[in-house]
């Protein structure tokens, strides 16, 4: 089909005032998105579009509010955040488990789903690089538009759509965006070593993304073979490193044959090749991947995440200009980890501009301190489980950059003394 043909067929499906969910990040349906922008939205009024845009092209950021259209990002990268700051898009700070449940219950109704996948072995349709809430959306949306991208890896999934269920199927062959990992700095390597020491053998691990976690996989790769399994949200090159090292092995009871479960993926070209038809990896819907009750059922479930900033109570603070501010899986995973073996937040003590990432009080709390059991910087580990508010503040001050500790202690108030033993 020509772009015009695709646009015309999509326009016949989309009505004024519809709410559409668009597939996520690196696995987004780029051809369908271009058809939506160029051929559908100019002739419709008041269409609402919802997307997790991180890792994708973020072309929907350019839609603005023309003709009453509305773009809502569950999470956004640089282009999306620029649109939010300009008032042309909105952030929708719902957890992935929360939005999945709202879609399933009808509290967040959907009219259409635009998603990418690929034809895989046995005639099935693989979700490619993203399943998350699209599995639930596919069950309730009035119509489904599927972009079958032959360049996406075929990853096994518990449930997905068939071509017969789709009102529009478009075949493409577009290489997905890739992201190469960076070598950890000395500070990040030290953080990785400290985090690795907190993860028990036999753990089911959620491993997030962020600068503070750049050295974690390398440190974990030195562990005993078969000592970990992974149940996380976003799969990255770190997962490949851990599986190929032998540290992550065995199978998860919720995914027979697989030692890795996730809901979306992005990474290097080599990582995407590694994912293709890999029996050790399975994508599951967010309703499973992010369900705190399910995750807390793993006796040694442990979560490791990063943060823009953290305060002296252990509250994760997300700066208003942070590209990841909005929704995501942090609250889902950290809550479950805090109920089990631990919820670790790892971050460098200072940012690239030399500002402390440890602050007195969170300005934009993204996660309560009750969902954080450990905070790690390159200067040490603060154990928060069972600590009073004053003890939390003292322990976190002690792992701040040495030049920031006296100021932070003074701002914390009585009871927090630099150099005191916790």
Q: pLDDT tens digit string along 310-357?
A: 999 999 987 544 444 556 788 899 999 999 999 999 999 999 999 999
User: Quick one: 9 and 156 in the same domain?
Assistant: yes
Q: Residue 342 CA to chain centroid, in angstroms?
A: 19
Please tell me whether residues 374 and 227 are part of one structural domain.
yes
Place of tokens 């020491």: 197
3-state secondary structure of 206: strand
| Residue that finishes a domain, picked among 172, 205, 223 | 172
Are both 158 and 207 inside the same structural domain?
no
CA distances from 360 to 123, 285, 302, 382 (A): 56, 37, 26, 15
Residue after which a domain boundary falls, among 148, 172, 196: 172
Alpha-carbon span 30 to 24, nearest angstrom: 10
Is 418 within the bounds of a domain? no
Answer whether residue 29 is part of any domain: yes
> Which alpha helices (H) appear in 252-298, and where do they start and end?
269-275, 286-289, 292-295
Residue 405 exposed, middle or buried by CB count within 10 Å (0-12, 13-18, 19+): buried
Judge whether 323 lies within some domain: yes
**How many independent structural domains does the chain possess?**
2
Measured CA to CA, the distance from residue 130 to residue 24 in angstroms comes to: 6
Q: Which of 25-29, 146-150, 261-265 has the lowest mean pLDDT?
A: 25-29
Q: How confident is the model at residue 151 (pLDDT cuts 50, 70, 90)?
A: very high
> Residue 199 gets which letter from DSSP?
S
CA count, 13 A, side-chain hemisphere, 73: 32
Beta bridge partners of 113: 21, 144
Q: Are residues 405 and 325 in the same domain?
A: yes
Question: Which one has a higher pLDDT value, 143 or 417?
Answer: 143
Hey, CA dihedral for 405, 411, 414, 415, is it positive or negative?
Answer: negative
Residue 202 shares a structural domain with residue 301? yes
Q: In this predicted structure, what is the pLDDT of residue 421?
A: 44
In 47-129, DSSP assigns E strands to 48-52, 70-75, 90-91, 112-119, 125-126
pLDDT digits (tens, 9 = 90+) for 244-273: 999 999 999 888 899 999 999 999 999 999
Claim to verify: residue 151 and residue 242 sit in the same structural domain: no
Long-range residue pairs from 87-92, CB within 8 A, at least 24 positions apart, any chain: 88/61, 88/63, 88/64, 89/60, 89/61, 89/63, 89/64, 91/325, 91/326, 91/327, 92/50, 92/326, 92/327
With tokens 């999934």, the residue in question is: 157
Q: Residue 19 and residue 25: Cα distance in Å, rounded?
A: 19
Is 417 within the bounds of a domain? Answer: no
Domain check: are 168 and 222 in the same one?
Answer: no
The C-alpha atoms of residue 116 and residue 176 are separated, in whole angstroms, by 11
Give the domain extent around 26.
3-172
Q: Are residues 89 and 130 in the same domain?
A: yes
Tell which of 126, 144, 172 closes a domain. 172
DSSP H or E segment with residue 219: helix 216-220
Contact 272, 302 (CB under 8 A): no
Q: What is the pTM of this model?
A: 0.92
Is residue 141 domain-shared with residue 218, that is, in the same domain? Answer: no
- The pair of structure tokens assigned to 206 is 């959620």
Q: pLDDT value at position 322? A: 46
What CATH number is given to the structural domain containing 99?
3.40.1080.10
Same domain for 394 and 263: yes
Q: What average pLDDT does the structure give for the chain?
A: 92
Domain identity same for 38 and 120 = yes
Asked if residue 225 and residue 104 are part of one domain, the reply reads no
Q: Count H helices and E strands in the chain, helices first.
A: 14, 23
What CATH number has the domain bearing residue 336?
A: 3.40.1080.20
In a domain, 303, yes or no: yes
């Amino acid at each position: 089909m020509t772009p015009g043909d695709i646009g015309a067929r999509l326009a016949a499906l989309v009505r004024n005032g519809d709410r559409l969910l668009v597939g996520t990040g690196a696995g987004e349906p780029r051809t369908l998105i271009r058809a939506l922008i160029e051929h559908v939205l100019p002739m419709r009024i008041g269409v609402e579009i919802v997307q997790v845009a991180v890792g994708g092209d973020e072309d929907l950021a350019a839609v603005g509010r023309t003709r009453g259209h509305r773009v809502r990002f569950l999470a956004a990268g640089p282009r999306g955040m620029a649109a939010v700051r300009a008032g042309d898009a909105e952030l929708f700070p719902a957890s992935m488990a929360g939005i999945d449940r709202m879609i399933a219950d009808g509290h967040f109704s959907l009219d259409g789903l635009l998603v990418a996948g690929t034809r895989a072995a046995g005639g099935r349709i693989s979700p490619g690089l993203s399943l998350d809430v699209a599995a639930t959306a596919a069950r309730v949306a009035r119509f489904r538009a599927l972009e079958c991208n032959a360049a996406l890896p075929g990853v096994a999934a518990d449930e997905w759509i068939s071509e017969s269920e789709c009102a529009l199927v478009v075949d493409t062959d577009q290489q997905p965006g890739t992201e190469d990992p960076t070598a950890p700095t000395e500070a990040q390597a030290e953080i990785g070593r400290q985090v690795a020491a907190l993860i028990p053998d036999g753990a089911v691990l959620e491993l997030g993304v962020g600068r503070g976690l750049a050295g974690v996989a390398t440190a974990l790769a030195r562990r005993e073979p078969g000592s970990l399994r992974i149940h996380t949200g976003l799969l990255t090159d770190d997962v490949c490193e851990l599986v190929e090292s032998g540290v992550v092995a065995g199978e998860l009871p919720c995914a027979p044959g697989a030692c890795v479960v996730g809901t979306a993926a992005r990474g290097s070209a080599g990582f995407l090749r590694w994912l293709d038809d890999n029996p050790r990896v399975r994508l599951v819907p967010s309703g499973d991947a992010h369900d705190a009750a399910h995750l807390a059922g793993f006796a040694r479930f442990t979560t490791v995440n990063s943060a823009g900033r953290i305060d002296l109570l252990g509250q994760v603070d997300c700066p208003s200009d942070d590209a990841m501010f909005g929704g995501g899986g942090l609250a889902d995973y950290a809550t479950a980890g805090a109920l089990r073996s631990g919820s670790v937040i790892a971050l460098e003590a200072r940012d690239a501009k030399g500002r402390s990432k440890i602050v007195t009080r969170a300005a934009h709390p993204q996660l309560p301190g009750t969902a954080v059991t450990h905070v790690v910087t390159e200067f040490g580990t603060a154990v928060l489980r069972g600590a009073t508010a004053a003890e939390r503040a003292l322990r976190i001050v002690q792992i701040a950059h040495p030049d920031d500790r006296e100021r932070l202690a003074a701002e914390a108030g009585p009871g927090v003394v630099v150099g005191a033993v916790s």
